[in-house]
Amino acid sequence: MSGYLLVRIWLLHLRDESQKVEYSLELSVVFTLFTLAGIALTLGAFLGSIPPRAPEIVALAAFVTISLLAMRELFRGTPRILPMPGVGIGKSSVFLVENEDEAEMVLKILHLKKVPLMVISRRPREEWISTFGFQPNVFLWLSNVRHPLAVSPSSLHVLREEAVRFMREHPGGAVYVEGIEYLMFYSDFRAIAKFLFTLRDYALAAGAYMIVMASPELLGSKRFAVLAREFKRPDFREIEDILSEKAFFGTVRREDLERLTGSEKSGEDDNAGGKGSKD
């Protein structure tokens, strides 16, 4: 039984999750000791020299040790994934956003700064323009249909070449990529990450912007963490302040500002209401 558990723990260790790895190492040590104790008891029983009460003592020690490990793990609980602090638009040029609202806020700022924009999207161009409210300079549609703007989602090399050409021809421009989950139907995540990291490095070298939208729920927390190590989360407080200033001077319509920032404020109001009810 202990040998079977050791194999299962070894497989758990291979998953490379920090908390599980630590816990699996502890269990490995415990079960190894009890496996050796079991072998010793078996040999002692075969030779007729087993100490009195030895099996009961080993079983009790195993129960107490495993119970203590389980209780400690229970009290420690699952660690929370704390949000990374945001980075200002002027302090970094490669960003990772989680949803369409966040992407729209970042792109709105770049649009107000008259930054040339290239979009790589799963959505058709007209649908994308209808959603975001302005036209990109270059648009690539991730699709296998025959269309002037369509690029096969399996042709990552074509997407890379087009994005690099755009950043070369538009110094200080921005490349926005969405539809990462769709690309995974045609390429493995390692190839997609390599594609994104290549564009990231070129954007940093060329002084361009790059924004990637990826949902941690759809992509998976482990894959999302890989992207989060290379791309920065935007400082949405700073973005909201800039948009508020633009709205004050009439550059941005007030209703657009309220729509872009409304979800964040409503969440704060809910939290405030929840605190008040507790009091």
- Tens of pLDDT, residue by residue over 168-224, are 999 899 999 999 999 999 999 999 999 999 999 999 999 899 999 999 998 998 999
The answer to whether 21 touches 13, Cβ cutoff 8 Å, is yes
Per-residue tokens: 44: 């002692």
> Position of tokens 């989680």?
98
- Tens of pLDDT, residue by residue over 19-60, are 444 555 565 666 666 666 667 666 666 666 666 666 667 666
What is the pLDDT at residue 105? 86
The answer to whether 150 touches 158, Cβ cutoff 8 Å, is no
Residues 101 and 191 reside in one and the same domain: yes
- Does residue 252 lie within any of the structural domains? no
User: pTM (2 decimals)?
Assistant: 0.59
- Does residue 275 lie within any of the structural domains? no
Tell me what the mean pLDDT of segment 62-79 comes to: 58
- Does residue 141 lie within any of the structural domains? yes
What is the pLDDT at residue 164? 96
Q: In the chain, what is the greatest distance between 2 CA atoms, to the nearest angstrom? A: 94
Rounded CA separation 121/111 (Å): 17
User: What is the total count of domains within the chain?
Assistant: 2
Half-sphere exposure of 24 (CA within 13 A, CB side): 17
- From residue 240, give the alpha-carbon distance in Å to each of 88, 105, 173, 258, 271: 11, 8, 22, 10, 19
Residues 219 and 106 reside in one and the same domain: yes
Lowest mean pLDDT among 58-67, 110-119, 240-249: 240-249
Residues 42 and 148 reside in one and the same domain: no
- Does residue 210 lie within any of the structural domains? yes
Residues 125 and 200 reside in one and the same domain: yes
The enclosing H or E element of 103 equals helix 100-112
State the Cα angle at 172 between 200 and 134, rounded to 5°. 95
Residue 256 has pLDDT above 60, yes or no: no
Containing structural domain, residue 115? 94-234
Residues 30 and 128 reside in one and the same domain: no
- Does residue 208 lie within any of the structural domains? yes
Residues 59 and 104 reside in one and the same domain: no
Residue 220 is part of a domain; what is its CATH number?
A: 3.40.50.11570
Residues 69 and 109 reside in one and the same domain: no
What is the pLDDT at residue 242? 53
**Of residues 182, 271, 197, the one with CA closest to residue 228:** 197
Query: Which of these three, 215, 234, 253, is where a domain ends?
Result: 234
Residues 102 and 223 reside in one and the same domain: yes
What is the pLDDT at residue 113? 85
Residues 137 and 215 reside in one and the same domain: yes
